[in-house]
Amino acid sequence: MTLALALGTALAAGPARPGERDEVAVPSSVARGARLFDGTEPLAGTLSGHSAPLPGAATRCIQCHAGPGKSTAAVPGFAPPLDRRQLRETLPRRGGPPVAYERASFCRTLRTGVDPAHVTLPRAMPRFDADEGQCAALWDYLIQAISE
Ligand code: HEC
């Protein structure tokens, strides 16, 4: 499939030249982000209002979201696919004013469930205990330029 091919090519090509992208991801960070996204590296998550951690299988991003170059989530149609376009484009989300994500606001959204337009995500989206390295890796993985 074309996107998988594009992903392979993008990874083989290594880091982008400076100026080509707004953020240059370190390849090892992208690889770690992929592991966090599919649950190979676990990430603790809770349902908002609950303190007990959810079982790992329930918090894997890929359970609910398709990632870059992946056409389906385990549960299709439940949550938006997460990729460069979804995160970096200025879009109206959940009835709020149009906004794009930056790395800091992405990390804040993961931890607090409040998006950059100050709209609270639905309860179905877990709140994650992601440290700086983990959310930076997820961000680098999700915004990699695979279709440009
Ligand atoms: C149990 C299902 C579920 C899991 C697991 C899950 N999400 Fe979500 N996520 C959602 C739902 C539902 C939304 C809100 C969709 C909406 O508002 O239309 C959402 C929204 C988001 C958004 C906001 C997207 C936007 O366009 O504003 C981000 C970012 C996000 N999730 C990242 C993640 C990451 C990263 C992980 C894994 C660490 C993850 N999610 C795991 C269900 C989930």
Question: Tens of pLDDT along the chain (148 residues)?
Answer: 455 554 454 454 445 454 445 566 678 999 999 999 999 999 999 988 888 888 888 889 999 999 998 777 778 788 999 999 999 999 999 999 999 999 999 999 999 999 999 999 999 999 999 999 999 999 999 999 874 4
Which ligand 1 atom is the nearest neighbour of the CA of 109?
Answer: 29
Of 144, 148, 138, 140, whose CA–CA distance to 37 is shortest? 138
CA dist., res. 128 & res. 112, Å (int):
8
What is the distance between the alpha carbons of residues 68 and 145, in angstroms, rounded to a whole number?
Answer: 9
7 lines ligand 1 (CB under 6 A): no
Pair 68, 142: CB distance under 8 Å:
yes
Which atom in ligand 1 lies closest to the alpha carbon of residue 94?
17
